[in-house]
Amino acid sequence: MSLGGIALATDFAAVIVTAAVLAILARKTKQPTIVAYILTGIVIGPVMLDLVGEDELIEIMAELGLGFLLFLLGIEMSFENIRDILKPTAAIAAGQAVLQAVLSFSVALLIGFDPFQSGMIALATTFGATPIIVKILGDKDELKTLYGRVDVGILIVQDIYLVIALAVLGVGTVDDVTEVALSMGRVLGLMALVGLAAYLSYRYLLPTLLRASAQNESTLFTVGIAWAFVFIFAAETLELSVEVGAFLAGLALAQLPYSTELKERMSLVTDFFIVVFFASIGLQMTADQLLAYWQEALIAAALLIIGNFFIVFGLFLSQNFDVETSFIGTINMLQVSEFSLVLGAIAVTQGFIEEDLLGFFSLMALVTMPLSTYVIINNHEIYRRAEPYLERFKSDDRIETELGVHEDHAVIIGYDRLVVESLDPIREQFDDIVLVDRSPENVSELRDSGFDYNYGDFRHGEIRQEADLENASFVMSMATQTEINRQLLEQAPEDATTFVAAGHPEDAATLYDEGADYVIIRQVLAGEVLAEHVTDYLTDREAFDATVDRTREGLEGGESDGR
């Protein structure tokens, strides 16, 4: 290996090892890993140890990291999840974008920035921290609450603004007003063209392509990566930004049932590129540049958090959401987004701003992200303490928090003849049924079934989260892998009814010991018999308990005979 190759390998090793150590510390302190990635560049870059410089390969990897960040942003944007609350959500997002931009511009002028710098600050601080907020709310099992769904909807609308802003910044600096208008018109026109291609692909190409590749895990992963690069290449060819192409590629995938499984498959590779991107931000700055506006950054962070709270809280109330939804939904979204760094980094590259202003954005993000993370983690406790002061805003005709919660629902893993013949008694008992299946052949039928449906492997955390396993009242798994059913029994609520399948009597005995209410031995059970057992459980517990007792006695007898 050449000396240049050894130096590059050493640089990458320093980036990854430092990021890993800081990410572990971030996890221990319940902080977003993005904070650890930004600090990685600061620690090993010119600001502190000066071990790594931003060489050409790291720049290329960082650009790909930004592309994959926007790809993941796009693939999170399923409009199905917010369709019923799209109108109030869009109103809040639009109002926040305008009012927060005015607030940010005013604050920036107040603390001494010139009008152009203030405009850039206003542009960069308008967006929410989508990956962080979605991750923390997901970990807390609050994405399906009303405030969680509204927050995600606001973030989706803001992300559309973000992509347009990235496309406009990608035009670069031009002096003539007419040229600016023509360049922006061209960019927006090309965005519409690529967006149309993404839509047509979603309608006519992707369902067939992903159904053909979904049977094989590595093929699905390869197709997902290839799809992202096709749009990145198309955007580059049309002289659009990489981010726009990647975002539209993800957006097309997000509307298909394969999107959650695809995110899970691609997460390791995309996370690697994202680490390099956020580390590269720290590598761009010296200590003087990072700290050039440290006082202004602290003042602006405080003023924007306070001002943004009143803006968003007022907008929630204006859409008739109840006080709890409005308050918790507001405090979940008070941090300066990591996308302020994304816009700042692109603005530096295009010559709009100097690194000093990127340092300003970095400090604001590093201050507000940890603070906001603790706020989101403790949002209910904060609301409880603030509730006495919010009585004046309460009203009987507001939309209640509980409307967004999945209550008393059933989760069924696997879709086959046994399940089909057992659905009627389950449907009579539960209004909401969530089906999880990983067979591409069943996708079309399940999408037309009227049930909530998630495609993917139930072993993946995001699939379980989408199914809202932790709040299920009834769980039935037709998977015969014992490790899957053990995980299910561990995570399902203690008072949930659990029917799980086993391939052998020995596995059935183990699953009973793990707490299963009934174990389905597939080789000896017909669909109509399973339907009878489900009906007995839901309507005649004595008959059901007798069935379970006979089954367990038979298993114990079989084991004593040496089976």
Same domain, 381 and 424: no
Position 404 scores a pLDDT of 42
Nearest to 38 by CA among 19, 53, 66: 19
Asked if residue 345 and residue 456 are part of one domain, the reply reads no
Residues 129, 87 share a domain = yes
Average pLDDT score over residue span 68-82: 77
pLDDT at 69 over 90: no
Sign of the alpha-carbon torsion through 546, 552, 558, 563: positive
Do residues 230 and 374 both lie within one domain? yes
Q: Which residues pair with 520 in a beta bridge?
A: 501
What's the pLDDT score for residue 173? 56
Whether 537 shows a pLDDT value over 60: the answer reads yes
31-36 mean pLDDT:
84
* 169: in domain: yes
pLDDT attached to residue 402: 46
pLDDT above 70 (res 155): yes
Q: How far apart are CA 499 and CA 501, in angstroms?
A: 7
**What's the pLDDT band for 312 if we cut at 50, 70, 90?**
very high
Q: Using alpha carbons, select from 255, 275, 276, 267 the residue that is nearest to residue 224.
A: 267
Q: Do the strands 409-413 and 518-521 form a parallel or antiparallel pair, or are they unpaired? A: unpaired
Among the listed residues 507, 434, 421, the one whose alpha carbon sits nearest the alpha carbon of residue 465: 434
In a domain, 44, yes or no: no
Q: What is the mean pLDDT of residues 83-88?
A: 77
Report the number of secondary-structure helices (H) and strands (E) in the chain: 25, 6
What is the structure's pLDDT at 560?
36
Q: Of the residues 390, 417, 442, which one is the last residue of a structural domain?
A: 390
76 part of a folded domain: yes
Rounded to an integer, the average pLDDT of 36-45 is 89
Q: What is the pLDDT averaged over residues 300-326?
A: 92
Backbone angles phi, psi at 561, to 5 degrees: -85, 0
Going by pLDDT thresholds of 50, 70 and 90, the confidence category of residue 447 is confident
Q: Do 272 and 341 have their domain in common?
A: yes
347 and 487 co-located in one domain = no
Mean pLDDT of 227-244: 84
Mean of all residue pLDDT scores within the chain? 81
Q: Within a domain: residue 153?
A: yes
Residue 278 vs residues 221, 340, 510: alpha-carbon distances, Å = 24, 12, 47
Closest by alpha carbon to 180, among 354, 350, 358? 350
Exposure string for 207-226, b = 16+ CB within 10 A, e = fewer: beebbebbeeeeebbebbbe
Domain count of the fold of the chain? 2
Q: What is the pLDDT of residues 254-279, one digit of tens each?
A: 888 888 888 877 777 778 888 888 88
Q: Which amino acid is at 365?
A: A
d(CA 140, CA 171) in angstroms, rounded, equals: 40
Quote the distance between the C-alpha of residue 266 and its chain's center: 13
Res. 62: pLDDT tops 80? no
Report which DSSP code applies to 403: G
Does residue 436 share a domain with residue 363? Answer: no
Residue 9 lies in a domain: no
**What are 412's strand-pairing partners?**
435, 476
Same domain membership, residue 307 and residue 215? yes
Rounded Cα distance between 196 and 83, Å, is 21
CATH number of the domain where residue 143 is located: 1.20.1530.20
Q: Mean pLDDT: which of 75-89, 218-232, 420-434, 532-546 is highest? A: 218-232
Domain CATH code at residue 447: 3.40.50.720
* pLDDT average, residue stretch 171-177: 58
Domain that holds residue 321: 58-390
Same domain, yes or no, for 435 and 383?
A: no
Same domain for 414 and 268: no
| 132 phi and psi angles, rounded to 5 deg | -70, -50
Asked if 235 contacts 241 with a C-beta cutoff of 8 angstroms, the reply is yes
- pLDDT reported for residue 308: 92
The whole-model pTM stands at: 0.74
pLDDT for 27: 85
Q: What is the mean pLDDT of residues 148-161?
A: 83
Within-domain flag for 45:
no
Residue 562 pLDDT grade (very low, low, confident, very high; cuts 50, 70, 90): very low
Q: Which of 363, 390, 417 is the last residue of a domain?
A: 390
- Map tokens 């001002």 to a residue: 307
Half-sphere exposure of 216 (CA within 13 A, CB side): 7
Q: What is the pLDDT of residues 378-418, one digit of tens each?
A: 999 999 999 998 888 877 666 654 444 445 788 999 888 77
Q: Bridge partners of 502?
A: 521
| Residue 286 sits in the same domain as residue 224 | yes
pLDDT in tens, 465-508: 778 887 888 888 888 888 888 888 888 888 888 888 887 778 88
Q: How confident is the model at residue 311 (pLDDT cuts 50, 70, 90)?
A: very high
pLDDT at 554 over 70: no
- State which of 360, 390, 420 marks the end of a domain: 390
